[in-house]
Amino acid sequence: MRLKDDQDLFPATLGKVKIERTSSMLNRQFYRCFASTSTMFLWALFLIALTASYISIQSLVLSSKNILTDKWGGIKWEKQVRNSASIQKQRGGFSVLVTGSAGFVGSHVSLALKKRGDGVVGLDNFNNYYDPSLKRARQSLLNKNGIFVVDGDINDDRLLSKLVDIVAFSHVMHLAAQAGVRYAMENPSSYVHSNIAGLVTLLEVCKSANPQPSIVWASSSSVYGLNENVPFSESDRTDKPASLYAATKKAGEEITHTYNHIYGLSITGLRFFTVYGPWGRPDMAYFSFTRNILQGKPITVYRGKNRVDLARDFTYIDDIVKGCLGSLDTSGKSTGSGGKKRGPALYRIFNLGNTSPVTVPTLVSILERHLKVKAKKNIIEMPGNGDVPFTHANISLATSDFGYKPTTDLQTGLKKFVKWYLSYYGYNGRIVD
Ligand SMILES: O=C(O)[C@H]1O[C@H](OP(=O)(O)OP(=O)(O)OC[C@H]2O[C@@H](n3ccc(=O)[nH]c3=O)[C@H](O)[C@@H]2O)[C@H](O)[C@@H](O)[C@@H]1O
């Protein structure tokens, strides 16, 4: 039995062996080949499955990351946006998206719009260019007045698109920006990020929106740069900016012009002249001087060439707010929709100043009087940091178009600022509840 089995296993003749060996080799090759093809197939399947699961895990990680990092979205959030945008007026009210609403000018404008019955949705990224707790305090003031402030950035096109999907905004009051003249030497890219890239992102969303909102936005008196015509008029040349900040605002004026021209967006640029007042910006001279004077610290007062004092056309916040509302009221409609122009739309630029420049030493002496404390002054020649020697607005265009007429002089405006400062920070600089 065993032998037979062996014989079966090992054939008797060579020829037979050869033939059988050849066929079994072929078989084996066939099987090996088949085996390797199916192995390859299995490997391919395995790799495809691996790639697919990698991609889905990756997108899951990304989307959950978005859910975790985005501070916006969801049914409750959408409801807050809608409620905040709803118009309280019987007829003819606006629904306005105010960017930079937790900022100085943005918070004042938002409150004024809400007060007169317009719907207002705020947007702010709460960056730390200056103390974000001041921005949060402004935000809670807005909240108390029924204004919801979305926590987000103007560079976030998904968020902006979502907002214009939820609300058919009639207007966008674009006040979000990287402000400050001298800081541009420390952090130039922040100016490009907010004042150029952010502006373009916002305009892209507005031009595609249906309906297109009308846009009013903050340019700056700094675009006049080294202009020597006095007072500064909108028709003066603005091609000699003295700082990167000014250059980005000037670029904004050119950029907005193209969006008006190509897409029919109604656009109004406002050149603000050194705005000051309660809830102001701590980086500005009147604010930091107040803080230092109260804390007994020295202040640095810049002086121009040949010992000439620097001067600014300081403009009180309430006058600026009136100018912003007047601009919104007269801005007309954008003519396009969904990215297509249907006809010409308004393109305007206005100075919003006070028409009476005051020197920096005079500003200091007014503060000393209101604070009843003498300042320790350190007077130095103006460094080459982007400052211009003086500003002075001609406001006749804004006066004739929407009756702009500033009514607060620096003495009166600083009195109101000091009153607010002391109630907010107290004499020793701590926040008073
Ligand atoms: O009107 C404008 O376009 C600009 O007004 C202000 O810029 P600026 O006029 O330089 O306002 P401050 O920073 O408050 O300076 C006011 C004056 O005080 C002077 N100054 C500032 C700081 C300081 O420590 N010492 C000092 O003498 C400046 O040279 C300037 O002449 C704002 O900061 C800008 O964001 C705005 O765009």
Lowest mean pLDDT of 1-15, 166-180, 212-226, 252-266, name the range. 1-15
Average pLDDT on 180-205 reads 98
Residue identifier of the C-alpha nearest atom 33 of ligand 1: 180
Q: Give the model's confidence band at 399: pLDDT under 50 very low, under 70 low, under 90 confident, else very high.
A: very high
Predicted ipTM?
A: 0.99
Q: Which amino acid is at 331?
A: S
Residue identifier of the C-alpha nearest atom 9 of ligand 1: 274
**Residue pLDDT, tens place only, 217-253:** 999 999 999 999 999 999 999 999 999 999 999 999 9
Q: Provide the token pair at 418.
A: 């000091």
Q: Which amino acid is at 243?
A: S
Question: Strand ranges (DSSP E) for 250-318?
Answer: 267-272, 275-276, 298-303, 311-312, 315-316
Which is the closest atom of ligand 1 to the Cα of 221?
Answer: 3
Which of 195, 221, 222 has most ligand 1 atoms within 8 Å of its beta carbon, as the pocket-test mutant? 222
Residue 58 has pLDDT above 90, yes or no: no
Which is the closest atom of ligand 1 to the Cα of 303?
Answer: 27
Measured distance CA(184)–CA(389) in Å, rounded: 18
Confirm or reject: Cβ of 363 under 6 Å from ligand 1: no
- The structural domains of the chain, with segments of one domain joined by +, span 77-275+316-355+391-407
By annotation, the residues acting in catalysis are 245
Which is the closest atom of ligand 1 to the Cα of 271?
Answer: 3
Average pLDDT on 252-266 reads 98
Residue identifier of the C-alpha nearest atom 20 of ligand 1: 285
Residue 34 has pLDDT above 60, yes or no: no
User: pLDDT value at position 3?
Assistant: 36
Find, among 117, 166, 176, 171, the residue nearest to 146 by Cα.
Answer: 117
Residue identifier of the C-alpha nearest atom 37 of ligand 1: 220
Superfamily of chain region 77-275+316-355+391-407: NAD(P)-binding Rossmann-like Domain (3.40.50.720)
Confirm or reject: Cβ of 248 under 6 Å from ligand 1: no
Which CA distances in Å does 298 have to 206, 290, 292, 310? 47, 11, 6, 19
Give the Å distance between the CA of 364 and the centre of ligand 1: 13
**Residue pLDDT, tens place only, 270-286:** 999 999 999 999 999 99
Measured distance CA(60)–CA(67) in Å, rounded: 10
Q: Give the model's confidence band at 418: pLDDT under 50 very low, under 70 low, under 90 confident, else very high.
A: very high
Comparison of pLDDT for 30 and 339, the residue scoring more? 339
Consecutive H or E run containing 168: none
Measured distance CA(168)–CA(333) in Å, rounded: 13
Confirm or reject: Cβ of 272 under 6 Å from ligand 1: yes
Across the chain, what does the average pLDDT equal?
89
- Burial classification of residue 422, based on how many CB atoms lie within 10 Å of its CB (0-12 exposed, 13-18 middle, 19 or more buried): middle
- Burial classification of residue 303, based on how many CB atoms lie within 10 Å of its CB (0-12 exposed, 13-18 middle, 19 or more buried): middle
Residue 57 has pLDDT above 70, yes or no: no
Q: Could you tell me the pTM of the whole model?
A: 0.86
- CB within 8 A of 419, min separation 6: which ones? 278
**CB atoms closer than 10 angstroms to residue 329:** 13
Residue 367 has pLDDT above 90, yes or no: yes
Q: Name the residue with tokens 């500033």.
A: 406
**Residue pLDDT, tens place only, 120-160:** 999 999 999 999 999 999 999 999 999 999 999 999 999 99
Which is the closest atom of ligand 1 to the Cα of 249?
Answer: 37
Which of 302, 307, 317, 364 has most ligand 1 atoms within 8 Å of its beta carbon, as the pocket-test mutant? 302
The distance from CA 350 to its chain's CA centroid, rounded to whole angstroms, is 21
User: pLDDT value at position 70?
Assistant: 76
Q: Give the model's confidence band at 55: pLDDT under 50 very low, under 70 low, under 90 confident, else very high.
A: low
**CB atoms closer than 10 angstroms to residue 255:** 17
Give the 3-state secondary structure percentages of the chain, helix then strand then coil, rounded to 5.
50, 15, 35
Comparison of pLDDT for 36 and 224, the residue scoring more? 224
Phi and psi dihedrals of 272, rounded to 5? Answer: -75, 140
